[in-house]
Structure 1
Amino acid sequence: MEKNKLQLEYIFDRVSTRSLWRYLSTPDGLSEWFAYNVRLEDNGDFYFQWDKNSGEKASVLEQREGERIRFQWHREQDQNACFEFVIHHSELTGGKSLEVIDYIAPEEVADMEHFWNNLISRLRLSLGAPE
């Protein structure tokens, strides 16, 4: 199935990179906003539990401490079909933003934008960051 690259960017000026990174890259942090529960498996994979009865595994394809983390769902066969969090810093303004990159079916663009906007609102709430 063909996937389109969806890129969304959110401003996070009043949050430390360290705090934001913890919420993007650790089971405890991800459990606060991304999934019902997240745990790290012995083999390094993440298990994302959506509710009491369902969940799925993802592998970390790339990680640069404090900068970016890329996950791939085990259900996806395409190496390029992943989702990624990237923290950007503006030298000019001193600001910080979070870029979300996801690979989705063409007909899912509007739904996935809404999905990510809701998740990022939950992340902001967990971090105590303003909208």
Structure 2
Amino acid sequence: MEKYRFEKEFEIKASPRMLYPYLLNPEGLSQWFADDVKVLPDGNYLFEWEGERHSARVVSRRLNKHVKFVFTDSGDDEIKANFVEFFLDYNDIIGSTFLKVVDFSEMDDEEELHKLWDGLVQSLKEIVGG
């Protein structure tokens, strides 16, 4: 199946230091990104959405800047596997952080992806007050 790369940037009135735990920690991710998130003994993550479970691993991260999850159950090698990536960039002038989301998966309905991510990030903004 063909993969689609979706990218969108969101402004959030919160510091990268405040936002980063919501992008990496299971407790934070469970509040806005997935129904449930667990870290397994091997260090991999188990994400659950509407009863479906998907395993992933963090392949890169930089404190308060970046996190990339590769979904290991997408059946492909790492280069072609589904992934979600988060980038944080703080703008001193306006006092906002910009969250850039990169979603690489089979989902190719751009309108639906905009709605999905707009809703997810709105939930995150409500949690952090941004």
Number of the residue aligned with 2:90: 89
Deviation at 1:79, TM superposition (A): 2.4
Paired residues, number: 127
Query: Take 2:88 and 2:68, find their aligned partners in 1: how far apart are those partners?
Result: 12
TM-score w.r.t. length of structure 1: 0.86
State percent identity of aligned pairs.
Answer: 28
User: How far did 1:28 drift?
Assistant: 0.7
Worse-matched range after superposition: 37-46 or 99-108? 99-108
Q: Is there any run of 5+ residues in structure 1 with no aligned partner, and where?
A: none
Residue 94 of structure 1 deviates from its aligned partner by 4.7
Q: Which residue of 2 aligns with 1:5?
A: 5
Q: CA deviation at 1:92?
A: 5.3
How far did residue 93 of structure 1 move? 4.4
Residue 49 (structure 2) pairs with residue 50 (structure 1): yes
**1: CA distance, partners of 2:33 / 2:98:** 18
Match of 2:126 in 1: 125
Deviations 1:84-129 (A, max 9, x none): 0000123554532000001133732221121111111111111122
Give the CA RMSD over aligned residues: 1.8
Q: Answer yes or no: is 1:115 the counterpart of 2:116.
A: yes
